[in-house]
Amino acid sequence: MQTIDLKYGRSTIPIQFDQSRFEIIKTDAGDRALTDVEIGALLDDPVDSPPLEEFVKSGDRVLLVVPDATRQSGSGQIVNLVVRRLIANGSTPADINIIFATGIHRPVTPEEKTELLTPFIAQRIKTIDHVATDPIRNFKVGETTGGIPVELDWTLTEYDHVVTIGSVTFHYFAGFTGGRKLICPGLASAKTIESTHRLAFDCATRNRAAGVGTGLLDGNPVHEAFMEAASKTRVAFGINTIVSGRGEITSVYCGDWITSHRRACERFAEQNTITLSEKRDLVVASCGGHPFDINMIQAHKTLDAAANACVDGGTIVLFAECSDGLGRADFLNWFGASNSDALAERLCSGYQVNGQTAWSLLTKAERFDVRSVTSLDKGTVQKMRMENVAPLEIAKYLDKKGGYIIPAGSKICIKS
């Protein structure tokens, strides 16, 4: 028997398995952490752009856009380096502000700000909280070619230079995270977020829209809408990271916000796309720990990946702590629908962003026997058509069937 420690929140849960009957699905991507010196060299040689120091002048105001607590991006290391470079170039700490791209997520707590930025930066650089529901804070800057109103945080207009800093991983309908997503949905109004996300669902077919999916950019209507929206503001520089399972930065692509993000996406897909020869009856999947299992809305992304490795009617065991609960207080309401078709009908008559996630989760719960190792209570899990399972009970599943074990489901794209 072999033992593997599956990440669960900020801890791990060991499970034993027979290596002759189980295959571990993980990538062979290099995960050596880059040093500050190595990252500095990449900042000196950006893609399709001069280095920051060549266009940021003394006295210019700079806004750094960073992810919230639902993302693992290595932002602390990057922000530290960028701030120090700007100050060495003549900027003062008062010239530099940081805004969290929360979209419709909850606000970043003081503790999370320190964790995301490091205590050194959190104590010295002013931070700003985006509020997607504030009609005064968000103003219309135009429309997409599809007629979607683009409303963005007013803060974006108050600076000479906007720099986006985020990580690239897979996203189950936007293709990839990072880049344009730091502006839209990250700094967009709730109205714009809802309208752009709605493009992911086709009400005629009651299914995902054509072109939408993990690792897809070209022809993806959601990605294209995000790009159009982000283009309504002037992003001076983009910094895109790829991080290891430990949260350490292993690659950086920076420069022009469009081309540097595209290169990071291509590299990430190259490293983390796996093609399986067959699907199996049992898939045990961890999200990869915090923050990927901070709530069920985020953890669902791993369930989406695991579904591509499991036969219909098979069992998926999902390790997802969900220390923040479901992610939205109204998320559970969607599961009052009798089935996924009824939920889709409700979604099309009154679309909401998290309704689409609920529909996607429910379709998986209907296709598979989904068991969850989680802190969520039994009643909540059952309403989502899943069942709780205690860590000590995992052995009974592993003894009955062979299958796959996925240590970091949030970071892989599975094809079969």
pLDDT at 30 over 70: no
382 phi, psi to nearest 5 deg: -65, -35
C-alpha span between 347 and 404 (Å, rounded): 33
**8-state DSSP, 33:** P
Give residue 31's pLDDT band: very low, low, confident or very high (50, 70, 90): confident
Q: φ, ψ for residue 62 (rounded to 5)? A: -125, 130
28 pLDDT above the threshold of 70? no
Q: Is residue 121 scored above 70 in pLDDT?
A: yes
Confidence bin at 132 (pLDDT 50/70/90): very high
**Element housing 43 (H / E):** helix 36-44
CA atoms of 55 and 167, how far apart (whole Å) = 24
State how far the Cα of 319 lies from the Cα of 80, in Å rounded to an integer: 33
Q: pLDDT digit string (tens) for 365-412?
A: 999 999 999 999 999 999 999 999 998 888 888 877 789 999 999 999
* Over residues 189-202, mean pLDDT: 97
Which domains does the chain possess? 2-25+276-415 (3.90.226.30), 36-271 (3.40.50.11440)
One DSSP character per residue, 146-161 reads T--EEEEEGGGGS-SE
pLDDT at 414 over 70: yes
Tally: H helices and E strands in the chain: 13, 22
Q: What is the pLDDT of residues 293-337, one digit of tens each?
A: 999 999 999 999 999 999 999 999 999 999 999 998 899 999 999
Helices 353-367 and 296-307: crossing angle in degrees, nearest 10, is 40
Q: Answer for the pair 392, 398: CB distance below 8 angstroms, yes or no.
A: no
Place of tokens 């489901």: 409
Percentage of residues of the chain with pLDDT beyond 70? 99
